Amino acid sequence: MKNRYLKNARIPEKKVRELLNLFCEDLTATQIANISGISRITVNAYLKLIRTQIAQYCEEQNPFYQHRRQFPVISHKQIGDANIDNNFYGTFRTDQGIYTMHIVNVDAVWLNNWLRGKVTADKSILEQNDLHIFDAIADFGKMKLYRVNNAEHFIKGKSKIDEIDLFWGILKSRIVKFRGLNTGTTYLHIKESEFRYNNRNIDLFTLIHSLIQRRPLHYLKQESAFA
């Protein structure tokens, strides 16, 4: 069966385009399965691949990584392992949009104490752990957002605080919509929210389709079962 999106797929390319259209409408897997007639297992498998593609794109657009010329590798710990080190994500804003980063190389207990004001850290410690770049850090274990860097509140007349609050509100609404996030999908949903927010004024189907054309889903190094 010909399918340029995924080799050895068991559904035709036309059905994948339908699934992608419904995904762009931000429907749940159950809604997509009911509308398209594709099995729920297959829908979930495709959505995981699409979200992984989106996450990779978001990391490539992140100006912090562009500056370092080194992009993170999306690990199984981020997309499927329930034993994630922590649920802390840093957030910062530039003129181009909102960017999120999973904080993985900082002791979670120390970070929690620092965010709550129980310990202090000088500039060198923050820079060493890349914490100095964030305007806010979210603890998804407690669903709380902490302000950490408000030295420059405005970018071209727009409040960074207002922008991040808006993004945080959208992200929390998404979590409610999907009835909470388990540790295996938190990363992908956060990156999807970042993607949707930063590209809210363009056609998502066209953008995602171009990403898949550039790097078909079967090139993603992830094990999935397709019904």
For residue 107, what is the DSSP state? Answer: -
> Which pLDDT score is estimated for 101?
92
Q: Which of 10-14, 155-159, 181-185 is predicted most confidently?
A: 10-14
Cα angle value 134/140/146 (rounded, 5°): 40
Any idea of the CA torsion for 180, 49, 86, 140, to the nearest 10 degrees? -30
For 161-167, what is the mean pLDDT? 83
The mean predicted confidence, pLDDT, of the chain is 81
Q: Among residues 9, 15, 24, 6, which one has the least CA distance to residue 207?
A: 24
> Which pLDDT score is estimated for 154?
42
The larger pLDDT score, comparing residue 83 to residue 43, is at 43
Judge whether residue 58 has pLDDT over 90. yes
Q: In 10 A of CB 166, how many CB atoms?
A: 13
Instruction: Please name every residue paired with 137 in a beta bridge, in sequence order, or none if there are none.
Output: 90, 146
Q: Which two tokens stand for residue 181?
A: 């996030």
Q: Among residues 165, 174, 163, 167, which one has the least CA distance to residue 26?
A: 174
> Which pLDDT score is estimated for 225?
38
Confidence (pTM)? 0.82
> Which pLDDT score is estimated for 11?
81
For 78-98, what is the mean pLDDT? 74
- The pLDDT confidence band at residue 147, using thresholds 50, 70 and 90, is confident
Q: Name the percent of the chain in helix, strand, coil, to the closest 5.
A: 50, 10, 40
Q: In 10 A of CB 141, how many CB atoms?
A: 14
> Which pLDDT score is estimated for 153?
40
The tens digit of pLDDT for each residue in 186-225 reads 888 899 999 999 999 999 999 999 998 888 776 664 444 3
The tens digit of pLDDT for each residue in 5-41 reads 666 667 888 888 999 999 999 999 999 999 999 999 9
